[in-house]
Amino acid sequence: MNLFDITGRKAIVTGGTRGLGYGMAEGLMEAGAEVVIFGSNAKVNNVAEQFCEKGFKCHGVEVDLKNREDRRKAFYEGLELLGGTIDILVNSAGIQRRHKSETFPLSDWDDVIEVNLTATFELCQLAGREMLKVGYGKIINIASMISFFGGMTIPAYAASKGGVSQITKALCNEWAGRGINVNAIAPGYMDTDMNTALTDPSNPRFKEITNRIPQHRWGTPNDMKGCCIFLSSHASDYINGAIIPVDGGYLVM
């Protein structure tokens, strides 16, 4: 079990105030890591305080991931809070916009690509520079089922998550031989705020999707914890460039 021990490891988790990011941040702290969570508003400090009240080591950093200067500043603020070192980066923050492709606004396209793809790459780059100094690090990007298929009315999200998958592979090719593992988790259909419209039982898509999932249920933030801890630990030292579905079997139906 020592292979899975991440006690004392230093981590940054974006989107850590709710949903999947919250679940993974909590899982890392339950496994002994010290975590900085990034959030888009002042709520991040309240969430960090709540984690601390549970006995975890947690810090909050407010950041607008659409703003390039702000996210660089946030990264170095988080690094300082962790004592100047980072062992684990989890790029979980993401946004969604839905429109028919023929009317999809370019302003929404720009926002989705900036947050989901460009911010993911830049934070990988910033963390990678620190990790390369010591020859060790674990980077976990959050891809999607939409990394494998196109979806409907979400062209920007599909493009961004396809890009996250490819960035993960590209960084693996350059950094795997230098001590950094870069992998991605591809969540299936998850019962989170982003999917509120789909999880409405009156929506025909809810029953259709649920029936296709072999486990016959949607995922939860808790379902992300195990894979995240695994990819953050020495147990995954020879896993690189992988896109791992956590989907209840959806992809194989």
Torsion of CA 232, 143, 66, 37, to 10 degrees: -30
Other Cβ atoms within 10 Å of 83 Cβ, number: 9
Residue 76 exposure: Cα atoms within 13 Å on the Cβ side:
6
Q: How far apart are CA 166 and CA 160, in angstroms?
A: 10
Q: Is 136 a catalytic residue?
A: no
Joined together, the tokens standing for residue 127 give 């963390």
What are φ and ψ of residue 75, in 5° steps? Answer: -60, -50
Q: How far apart are CA 118 and CA 83, in angstroms?
A: 26
Catalytic residue among 157, 189, 238, 250: 157
Contact 47, 37 (CB under 8 A): yes
Residues with catalytic roles: 157
